[in-house]
Amino acid sequence: MDTRAIFKASSFLILTVISVPSNLFICCAFLHTRLTEAKLTPADVILWHLALTNLTSTFTRSFSQMLTAFGYQNLYDDFGCKMVLFFFRVSRTLSIKLTCFLSTYQAVLVSPATSKLDSLKHRIPKYLQHIIVGLYAFSFVFSVHLILYSYSNLINNTIPAYTFNYEYCYVTYPDYTVFISIGLYLFFRDFSFIVMMVVMSCYILLLLYQHGTKVKSLRSSDHGSSGSRPEVKASRAVVTLVVLYTLFFGVDNAIWLYSLSYVRVAPLISEVRGFFSVLYTSVCPVVIIATNPKVKGKLKMSREE
């Protein structure tokens, strides 16, 4: 293996080693809490689905990229490629929607009674299951194109135009119209969700700033602990996730848009995009474990046993 292959294999190995146990622990922690203690909050339910989504992305992208970098070939047949790329696209779509939903819910939760968002405080928990099922259904339906255009091998081992090379699989579109239409749709769809979560995060930060200013001006007796209130901690954690998502997937989407401008993209560019497309799956659970009281409590219990 050359230096580039070793670096690539090591990078995806590190992501996989971090992502799998941390996301699995989060799923088990919330499930244990649900079965033994109390009903999970809407935010916890969203985080549980987000961890499950991260696990799916890891097994369908990071793991495959890691094995390919270590020299394994012909990992999948045509059916395997269709399933692996389909479920990766579903998990990626769900990741952005769930993060956006989480930021929206947190904004609703901390909004004052005079806000227009206040009416959603009781509606979101009431229809939480319906919303999540809708997000899953939307993600499945709008990822079907990968089942149609994914292959494990190419004719004469020649990469045709309008093809994305994942090394272990290929996505080949029949013509430029289909290629650019699907590409632009995916870009602007992701961009719209990123804009929405950024707006909601800015709103949360504004409310936190106003609250901090008010506490300071009133010289409240709990001034010293205002930053440690549960809703404040939860809000900061959500904003952190949004910032990380915007950073990582911003790079991913920028490279995706660049890829649409060229018939064939250099392998290094595709590798960088692949890395950033799954980086969130490893960093996200670390933030959740560090900030969520339920998960931290389960971690402390497991260490004491």
DSSP string, 53-87: HHHHHIIIIIHHHHHHHTT------HHHHHHHHHH
Strand-pair partners of 172: 163
- CA dist 287 and 282 (Å) reads 9
Distance (Å, whole) CA 73 – CA 108: 48
90: phi then psi, degrees, rounded to nearest 5 = -60, -45
Q: What is the mean pLDDT of each run of 10 residues along the chain (305 residues)?
A: 80 92 93 84 94 94 89 89 95 93 92 83 92 95 92 80 86 90 89 91 87 63 52 84 88 81 71 86 92 83 67
CA distance 299 to 305: 10
Contact 43, 102 (CB under 8 A): yes
SS3 of residue 298 by DSSP: helix
Which pairing describes strands 163-165 and 170-172: parallel, antiparallel, or unpaired? Answer: antiparallel
Q: Give the pLDDT confidence score for residue 304 in this predicted structure.
A: 63
Instruction: Calculate Rg over the CA atoms of the chain.
Output: 21
| Cβ burial 35-64 (10 Å sphere, 16+ → b, else e) | eeeeebebbbbbbbbbbbbbbbbbbbbbbb
Tokens of 114: 């005079």
User: Tell me, what's the pLDDT at 208?
Assistant: 84
**Contact present, 58 and 17 (Cβ < 8 Å):** no
To which residue do tokens 């920028």 refer? 254
Superfamily (CATH) of domain 3-304? Rhodopsin 7-helix transmembrane proteins (1.20.1070.10)
Q: Cβ distance 172 to 149 under 8 Å?
A: yes
Integer Cα distance of 123 and 133 in angstroms: 16
Cβ-based neighbours of 95, under 8 Å, separated by 6 or more:
50, 53, 54, 57, 245, 280, 281
The string of DSSP letters for 127-155 reads: THHHHHHHHHHHHHHTTTHHHHHEES--G
